[in-house]
Structure 1
Amino acid sequence: MSNPFKFLWDKFYTMFLWSSGADLEVLDQVPMEKNKFYGIGGTIVFTALMATFAGGYAFYTAFDDVYPSIFFGFFWGALIFNLDRYIVSSFGVGDGKKTISGQEMIEAAPRLMMAIILGLVISTPLELKLFESEINAEIKRLNDLTTQESEFNYTAQADSLAITFIKENQSIEEGIDLRRQELEVLRLKRNDAYDKYMCELNGTCGTGRPGEGPVFREAKENYINLNEEFKNMEASYGQLNEQDLQGIREKEGRINNLRDEARQKSASLRTEFESRNGLLARLEALGSLTDKDSSLWAAKWLVTILFVFIEIAPILFKMMTERGPYDDIIDYKKHQVKVRHMLLTSNLNEEVNTDVKINAEKSSQKLEAELLANRELLKTIALAQSEIAAAAIAKWKEGQIQKARDNPDGIITS
């Protein structure tokens, strides 16, 4: 093994050991335990790599941008790596037996649930990539089906209105034809009256006498009346027919506009659905495929179960691992830390108790000093009061003696 290769191998080996969440200094003391943690760390690292590919692919599918997808892929892989490392490292060796007990399952349940959720999240984008060709075909089928349904709805709406307009136009055209027939009947009557009128004038029919006689005047008047009626009817019906024809042209224009609008909506919808190829569309297509094809459903769930198993494998492995020297050293170090903590707590309690006793003694001494000072003060007050009373009595005595000297009779009388 060449030196550069050995250097890289040592770096990878150390990285895998660190990824397992193990204490590298402790592992150096028990090298026989390294392979166990190397396997755990390798599983965590390769799970993070799969998460990197899955996150990058999912982001690229959603946003169709390469560089942000690469950044997000590495970010997602680092996030999954950190979560996996925490989940595995925070779980101890269990009961130290090769079998998995019910108590171990209860203790590991929250971590197993987190690992299962991570496995599902990681597996979904990779499933989309594995079944990419089938998903693309299903997306096209679903888009075509939705587009055809929408086009049918648009066309049906336009055709329904068109049928209504066509029926209205047919009714209008029937009215126009009826007026034309009436006008044609009147025109024929007018022409017939004209022929009789001219024939009577020329003497080729009727009375057989040319010139303007009573019969001629009657035929002429009949012609004039019919001709006037024909002109009036022609003008009136011509105006009505023009209005009806204008209405027909407007309705035909609306029919053409509706059909053009339906074609535009259909084309716009088809363009929209052709570009519908994002993450949600792929998830919907995958769901549709698994609903229709049991083989694809089984393959999809086998892939999901595989990734979930890879995610929970380190935890199960630690639950089935017997206690080793590494665990004994870790427990010893934890016990040392616990004892140090208890010792520090005990010393702190002793310091606090000593301070309390000192403060209590100081308070007692201070109280005694205050009591002593109060006793001395009371004595001084009592002495002063006695002196004041003696001085007041002496003063009163002097006053009474002086009164007795000044007025002995008054003292005796009183």
Structure 2
Amino acid sequence: MHNDTRSHGLWELTAPNAPATQVLRRTCRQDVAIVGGGYTGLSAALHLAEAGLKVSVLEAFEIGYGASGRNVGLVNAGLWMKPEDVKSSLGAPFGERVLQLLGNGPAEVWSLIDKHGIDCDAVRNGTLHCAVGASGLKDLKEREEQWQIRGAPVHLLNAEETAERTGTRAYSGSLLDTRAGTIQPLGYARGLARAAMAAGAKVYRSSPVTGAERSKGKRWTVRTEFGAVEADWIIVATDAYTNVPWPEIRREQISVPYFNFATKPLSRELQTSILPGREGCWDTREVLISYRLDRERRLVFGSVGALRGTGASIHRAWAIRAARKLFPQIGRVRFEAAWYGMIGMTRDHLPRFHRFAPRVVGICGYNGRGISPGTAFGRVLADHILGTVPDSDLPLPVSMPEVPRLRALQESYYAVGAQLAHFVGARI
């Protein structure tokens, strides 16, 4: 997008075409204005339009331009945190509410894909959280116990079972979550937009919001460069790619870069050896590795870091070494696409429900878990506006943005630390 091959990489090359959209060049009157054309905004637009409300989505660039079109494509259940950590951090009743909502998050994604015929290479064979060493296995055992108490279909696999599913003997075990799977993430975003438009929502591209003010009649006017939307409600759905007029969202988040490389399609022999079931994988390292296969059996291999400056060559060289170390059978590694994006991390790794002003709401801080949470939280925002989910039934407490301590220093730590880790990593 925007002539930058490192922004969306493989996903832009292989996604179905986006539905035809226009720049907003007039003033229109709607029930809801949604700022941001990613999973949250498009899910909310779809559910609101299906309920009969008039909705406009204002996207600054293109559908799925932010994290929705750049991520790995893992449709995970829950959050990065262990269930009991979520419960203790959020307290009652929110902890168990959000665990139930996001535990069922992949099912919401699969349901929308089936209902609207979204072409996004959905593979529902689960995901594997892979254990590095004894400490990693201990962590996964705790996760298994805490999810199984809640009736979730997660199972700890031993080293041999993990090797059979992944094609590498690098791990001491893995946690299989059969609720989860993989998709083509940009294809899913474009499919959500097409479904929302078919339901009556208006989706505008290249229409960045420049300001929003409330009239005495209590309606909001959301302005873009060439037009405006007058609406009763505003949903802010920009998360890590927020600019104006809600910069406090960006200040609240620690911005962490994440890159992916995609190989050429694997040979038939390697297809039976590396991820034969096409599960999506990531491991328990602090600077983690993720990998999965796409429709054409390309290996998509990623980790923390930005493909800019010295990072571009350092991370590429590491990815080649790491892929060959994990999968010796792969031979020479040749990448045909490379891209990266930003993850918005909050202080405690939990998402936030914000009410920025009367009838201006948003959920942000996905912490690297955007696909199913974005889909589910988009529906929650729609239900909140429709009145079926009052404040007392929200899955998250209402809060105002807060700036984490030493945010700039933490961002530098992730960016520079990832380069250092990858400069020396996978050399043995």
Shorter-chain TM-score range: under 0.3
**TM-score under structure 1 length normalisation:** 0.17
Larger fraction in strand = 2
**Structure number with higher helix proportion:** 1
The two structures have a TM-score, normalised by structure 2, of 0.17
